[in-house]
Structure 1
Amino acid sequence: MDNFYLIIVVVLFALAISDLIVGVSNDAVNFLNSAFGSKAAPRWAILIIASLGILVGATFSSGMMEVARKGIFHPDQFYFAEIMIIFVAVMLTDIILLDFYNTVGLPTSTTVSIVFELLGAAVAVALVKIMNSDQTLLDLGNYINSAKALAIITGILLSVVVAFSAGALVQYITRIIFTYKYDKRFKYFGAIFGGFAITAITYFILIKGAKGSSFISKEALVWIKSNTFTIIASCFVGWTVILQLLVWFIRLNILKVIVLVGTFALAMAFAGNDLVNFIGVPLAGFKSFQAYIASGVNDPYGLTMEVLSGKVQTETYLLLIAGIVMTLTLWFSKKARTVTETELSLSNQNEGDERFGSSYFGRIIVRRSLSANNRLKSVLPERIQKSINKSFQPSVSLAGIEKKDIPAFDMIRASVNLTVASILIALGTSLKLPLSTTYVTFMVAMGTSLADRAWGRDSAVYRITGVITVIGGWFFTAFCAFSAAFIFANLINWFGGYAIVFLLGLALFFVVRSHRIHKRKNDAFVSEDNDSLIIKGDAAEQCTHAVSTLTAKIPGIFGKMITGLAYEDRAKLKECSKKVNKLNAEVKKIKNQVPDMVKILREDSVYSGPFYVQLIDYLREMAHATSFIVEPVYEYIDNNHKALESEQIEELNIIQAKLSEFFTHINTIINDRNYLSENIDSVLEEKEVLLKSIKKFRKEQIKRIKAEKVGTRNSVLFLGVLNETKNLILYAGNLLKAARDFTTSKEDDDLD
């Protein structure tokens, strides 16, 4: 029996390593986003600073470990075997749940997940104990530390409101003071701002956080507490003087220093606060096993776990090992980047593609906010409104800067993000509250984005929808964590080691499967080869590539569609549908980039601009027409309707052959930029031949309808395909003319 529980302890530590990896992949972005978003330093430099913060902060976690041991349930009410069931169920649930969130790219709270997993597993085991005794459900409170659990949950939810409000207020005041043109004012007040920010970080991280450290003595803590004011004053004066001298002598960028120091501090706070979420449960399991072995009791159901109710100091080397695993994950996890993109897209100061769509609640909130804003404007003096608006007027032009090099926001906002979040998280750590770093950093970032007017009229509804989605995901985390841990604990309780083996296999399956899904999504996202319509380049190069790629793809898709329709090959038609959806998504992205492309055209290109816009419009219409051809065909076969007649397939094949020649000719002209009149006329003649064929086959279909050879669904599909093919051909002809006009007008502009 001892060997069985020794194996469980080993499994718990193995799960802890896995949990560290999947957990850090989600949580690491919380302290990296501000530095990444503001482009404060190269990626490698930011990661080095964050890694040092994690390693130092890991040693501050010892005082937090009691949350996993006795924060949610009363360990003295459970036997050793029952405690181990709870811990195994919690770790298995945590890995599956966090890996799912990493795969979909949503930030969630590891604190919320661990709290509700402990709650769910403990309730499951407690209910079994109650059912096997004379107790009733009213006695559940004897097992669950309901007061502590409620305080933790309330604190986490309250942190959402506090973090958002604090971030918005501090950012608004900071922007009013420094504006976007902060260089001049920073010469005089930058050192004071930096001194305050770094002093605040120093106080809450090094002083408050020291209470949980595994190596600082009690005497040192007493000295720190008794000299708090002196330390704060010395830090403020010292940092202010040092920063000012560095500005004078080496022109130090104070904001960059604040961002990097803040990244280090927030990484410390993260490690100090969230490390318990990953290794607290395995360490508690290990302590339980040690107590069981030392007791000499042979029956695992004969020893209650009062030992977990006392104070237990975690060894520093275990914390450092955990910190090293977290650091390695920080450098090599691709899923961490996916989660990073979500928060950056919601706080981006610049316009661009929105990650989330619109929602009913998002639209309602925006309408109500606009109404409230209009009422405020009606009572606020116009002079004050102009002064405030001037502070929020961006001063930097982004023209000519590559998209990947454009910061999501400036370093003023990054500094506020890091300073406010560090203070709140370190305060929670010092009070032994498992404050959610995800909730705090995310809501601080959203608050500063709102105050900084990053959520403009053109983006607010999408950003708010994104925030609602993320917050909804947090509640989903709580529900899933409780439910899954409850089920897993019951399975282990009923089936013992067999259930553990099964659940380990299930967890491995989900992790491997989600890894493959994420890899496919990531490969599809970063792919910018010749198969994609989107490339980096100027407007002319982008147009030529997009048109060439589209005209090369459409005949192939059309041919596969006919083959799939003829042989009722659902898989082939589904593949066509996916390709068309990708085409539409890429063309839509190109269309959304039209304003940016027009901006970087030569200023005197007043003639080429309209032709470029027209060309992209035709691209969009061609992609739509292709979709309107393929989607009904896929739906027709997917619904198992009657196959088309052989003569109908033959007619479609004739169209496909001519269509292929037609698009090949267009492709050649555009690639060679050979817009001679005879070449254009030749393509237009091919277009007329195609249109005549479609007209002829439409008449043939009418004859079949009159002769009652085909049914209604057949006729609707076939006539629909012919009509959309006609539209596709017309758009292609217009596309060629627009490409000619755009190219020739651009050449004329260059000559001018």
Structure 2
Amino acid sequence: MGDPYILMLVALAVLASVDLVVGVSNDAVNFLNSAIGSKALPVKKIMIIASLGVFFGAVSSSGMMEVARKGIFVPSEFYFNEIMYIFMAVMITDILLLDVFNSLGMPTSTTVSIVFELLGAAVAMALIKISANDAQTFANLGQYINSDKALQIIFGILLSVVVAFSVGAIVQYFSRLIYSFNFEQRASYISAIFGGFAITAITYFIFIKGLKGTPYYGDIEHLIEGKTVWIILLSFIAWTILSQVLIVFFKINVLKLIIGIGTFSLAMAFSGNDLVNFIGVPVAAWNSYEAWQASGVDADSFPMGVLAQKVPSNVWLLLVAGGVMVITLWTSKKAKTVIETGINLSRQGEGHEKFQPNPMSRIVVRAAMGINYAFSALIPGKTLKFIDNKFQKPVIELSKDKTYEMPAFDMVRASVNLIVAGILISIGTSLKLPLSTTYVTFMVAMGTSLADRAWGRESAVYRVAGVINVIGGWFATAIIAFVTAATFAYLISLGGIAAVAMLLILVVFLMGKNYISYSKKNKEVKKQRLINRAELITINGVIEESSDHISEVADRVNKLYTNVVDDLAKHDLNKLRKTDKHVGKLNDEIDDLKDGVFYFIKSLDDTSVQASRFYILVLGYLQDVAQSISYISRASYKHVNNNHKNLKKGQLKDLKVIDNQLTAILDKVSAVFQNRTFEQLDEVLVDKKELLIDVTSSIEKQIDRIRTDETSPKNTTLYFSILLETKDLISALMNLLQTYEEFHLSTKQQEELK
């Protein structure tokens, strides 16, 4: 077989391309959230600005490449073959980990993942070397791992979380005191000064600090070094004057300009800081291979001290990587999902909450309320009144069809998000610290949301739960990255190129599985007939909306009930478990609809308000139906899971008869509401009476069995539970149909009178 390391390099090149895609899909949230959430600019313009920023950032990222080469481990302590094993384990782990988070729509840190993957793989390889050397013990691990640098990086990442949240909250608080929510009515000079400060901060830290470590910095170093104060002062004056001119003479909203420049700068900072996470390892592998080839020494005898030397990066390679990142930015569907998570947690208004409260979020909210009350008692009343006036949101009169087109937050907060995050990331980059851009931008956004009073009594417990979940995911990223990379490094050291091949097959399989699962989930979301809150809803709209809900619930309950009966007959625990999960999804979706009743009623036009009572009743009956099938499913699963006796043949036969009759009724219900043939509702109501009689008959049969040959009390409990809940299910369904028939007839009569 030829040179196996060439095959590894090819694999690393392919993995780098894939890693760019999955990495950017997750990290796009960092620099797009503020611009998209504030709707300051059209989405196409935002994407163009971000794309340019990514390109410029790619060129300025060369200084960060040293982290992958020598930042975590001591390269001179490892041989070439061991370094290649470490790099293969790191890249395979990185792709799998980021793809999972993308599929979940959760922002995580590509920096933390790469740092802990390098650490895990290097530790595993070091332990293998130590175990093979009788003269070394675990205490010698420190000579293989660059522990000081690793701890510095980890500490920097953790510190950035606290600093980002705190600075974001403080800057936003004072920005709101200056601007208030009526920022369009502020004096022009306030916006000009704000613009001068913001753009000066962005241009200095991004264009000047960001150029350090690049091949171009030497040409302009003499113009910058020792002149920091003058550069900042002159920039502030120039940008303030320019901002005033743009506001007064060209009527340009300077906040939009700040958001545009801020998006560019943050995209640039992201690319400059995070490109190392995607291509740093493959580039280091290529440098290692070149050095090994030139040496003529065996792969398992050539120490890799060469990696400790500074090697200039290939600018063309960086630009190609930047190109891949830009294409991903425009095409990735998973990036949009991750962006939605960030915007959802920081939006100013109320609405559907993605995360559910947990005990920790409740404790945090209660503690924060207590602290707030304490501070309020200490601050003078006039001061509190002044502050509250600044945080009063203006009432904007919009037509109802435009109500839900409002941005998630205003341009003042978007500007602060971009300014603070850009500055913090740029400082970290200039210091060669691979800060997590995700951690910084996310925590800045959360800090500004808190300071801006976006987390009110109605939403705080949900938003805090979301933040806790995301931060928990960050810790999980570190632990999983370390353990998985260490495991893969150990397997590769045992199996060599064969193990690499097997792991690459695993990557393809798992990514394919995640893609199929993600696509299926997206289709399910699109199929959900959720309320289109951007539209004005009329009586006909209520009929259409509710008909779709009823038709879909009838179809799903039909399948679920049949599955329970069939799986119970086979005593199939796995299928009952799957059915129970589907039942849970149905209940969650109906709960979401009920949570949206407030917005539904707000969306009704003035002539359709009486339809709100009808819609509430419909959702109530749908919930009753879902709860009945949920109880039947849960009781059946519990029965089989506890290894109780199978139901008797007579019992199963009766259940199947009921199932067939219920199937026929639910098919009719679905067809009636799907085709809007409401005049056929009478026929369904007649069938309902016959089915109720059969259910009652089955209950009486079971009573007779108990008195004669039934010996299992658990079977009796389950059987009665199924029959009684089936009866409740049918009753709720028929109440729904009767309500619908009455509403349909009354609506028809009103239209005829008109």
How far apart are residue 738 of structure 1 and its match? 3.4
Contact 2:681 2:741 in 1 (8 A): no
Q: Does 1:370 align with 2:373?
A: no
How far apart are residue 645 of structure 1 and its match? 3.4
Contact 2:211 2:217 in 1 (8 A): no
**Other structure's SS at 1:154 match:** helix
Partner of 1:447: 447
Name the CA shift for 1:26/1:700 in 2 (closer, same or farther; >3 Å). Answer: same
**Other structure's SS at 1:354 match:** coil
**AA matched with 2:156:** G
Partner of 2:700: 699
Name the CA shift for 1:186/1:579 in 2 (closer, same or farther; >3 Å). Answer: farther
How far apart are residue 684 of structure 1 and its match? 5.8
Q: Does 1:240 align with 2:240?
A: yes
Partner of 2:169: 168
Please give the residue correspondences for 1:339-738 in structure 2 after superposition, counting only pairs within 5 Å. 339-395=338-394, 396=396, 400-401=400-401, 405-528=405-528, 532=529, 538=537, 539-551=542-554, 553-566=556-569, 576-603=579-606, 607-637=610-640, 641-656=644-659, 658-659=661-662, 687-709=688-710, 711-738=712-739
Contact 2:548 2:673 in 1 (8 A): no
Cα deviation 1:431-484 (Å, max 9, x = unaligned)? 111111011011111111111122222222222122112112212222222222
How far apart are residue 555 of structure 1 and its match? 4.2
**Other structure's SS at 1:432 match:** coil
Partner of 1:261: 261
**What CA RMSD, in Å, does the superposition of the two structures yield over aligned residues?**
2.9
Contact 1:670 1:739 in 2 (8 A): no
How far apart are residue 499 of structure 1 and its match? 2.3
Partners of 1:505 and 1:675 lie apart in 2 by: 54
Partners of 1:257 and 1:748 lie apart in 2 by: 56
Partners of 1:674 and 1:29 lie apart in 2 by: 46
Residue range with higher mean Cα deviation, 414-423 or 603-612: 603-612
Partners of 1:100 and 1:647 lie apart in 2 by: 47
How far apart are residue 22 of structure 1 and its match? 1.6
Name the CA shift for 1:122/1:398 in 2 (closer, same or farther; >3 Å). Answer: farther
How far apart are residue 17 of structure 1 and its match? 1.6
Partners of 1:24 and 1:687 lie apart in 2 by: 55
How far apart are residue 335 of structure 1 and its match? 1.9
How far apart are residue 185 of structure 1 and its match? 0.8
**AA matched with 1:266:** L
How far apart are residue 188 of structure 1 and its match? 4.0
How far apart are residue 524 of structure 1 and its match? 1.9
Partners of 1:743 and 1:188 lie apart in 2 by: 60
Partners of 1:497 and 1:667 lie apart in 2 by: 57
Name the CA shift for 1:110/1:182 in 2 (closer, same or farther; >3 Å). Answer: same
Partners of 1:347 and 1:550 lie apart in 2 by: 33
Contact 1:399 1:600 in 2 (8 A): no
Residue range with higher mean Cα deviation, 166-175 or 471-480: 471-480
**Structure 2: which 5+ residue stretches go unaligned?**
none
Partners of 1:670 and 1:321 lie apart in 2 by: 54
How far apart are residue 557 of structure 1 and its match? 4.1
How far apart are residue 563 of structure 1 and its match? 4.2
Contact 2:16 2:91 in 1 (8 A): yes
Contact 1:399 1:599 in 2 (8 A): no
How far apart are residue 310 of structure 1 and its match? 2.3
Partner of 2:24: 24
Name the CA shift for 1:350/1:217 in 2 (closer, same or farther; >3 Å). Answer: closer
How far apart are residue 590 of structure 1 and its match? 1.4
Residue range with higher mean Cα deviation, 708-717 or 55-64: 708-717
Partners of 2:151 and 2:505 lie apart in 1 by: 34
Residue range with higher mean Cα deviation, 681-690 or 380-389: 681-690
How far apart are residue 392 of structure 1 and its match? 2.2
Partner of 2:293: 293
Partner of 2:304: 305
Partners of 2:23 and 2:266 lie apart in 1 by: 16
**AA matched with 1:87:** F
Name the CA shift for 1:42/1:78 in 2 (closer, same or farther; >3 Å). Answer: same
Residue range with higher mean Cα deviation, 622-631 or 463-472: 622-631
How far apart are residue 59 of structure 1 and its match? 0.7
How far apart are residue 222 of structure 1 and its match? 2.4
Give TM-score, length-normalised by structure 2: 0.91
Aligned length: 745
Partners of 1:674 and 1:141 lie apart in 2 by: 77
Residue range with higher mean Cα deviation, 399-408 or 303-312: 399-408
Partner of 2:331: 332
Partner of 1:104: 104
Contact 1:63 1:432 in 2 (8 A): yes
How far apart are residue 562 of structure 1 and its match? 3.7
Percent identical pairs in the alignment equals: 49
Give TM-score, length-normalised by structure 1: 0.92
How far apart are residue 704 of structure 1 and its match? 0.8
Partners of 1:281 and 1:658 lie apart in 2 by: 63
How far apart are residue 199 of structure 1 and its match? 1.3
Residue range with higher mean Cα deviation, 45-54 or 183-192: 183-192
Name the CA shift for 1:219/1:557 in 2 (closer, same or farther; >3 Å). Answer: closer
**AA matched with 2:208:** I
Name the CA shift for 1:76/1:550 in 2 (closer, same or farther; >3 Å). Answer: closer
How far apart are residue 689 of structure 1 and its match? 4.4
Partners of 2:289 and 2:53 lie apart in 1 by: 32
How far apart are residue 8 of structure 1 and its match? 2.8
How far apart are residue 294 of structure 1 and its match? 2.5
Partners of 2:113 and 2:749 lie apart in 1 by: 63
How far apart are residue 69 of structure 1 and its match? 1.5
Cα deviation 1:296-316 (Å, max 9, x = unaligned)? x32234432332222221121
Partners of 2:656 and 2:85 lie apart in 1 by: 65
Residue range with higher mean Cα deviation, 39-48 or 203-212: 39-48
Partners of 1:73 and 1:661 lie apart in 2 by: 68
Name the CA shift for 1:186/1:737 in 2 (closer, same or farther; >3 Å). Answer: farther
How far apart are residue 323 of structure 1 and its match? 0.8
How far apart are residue 748 of structure 1 and its match? 8.7
Q: Does 1:149 align with 2:178?
A: no
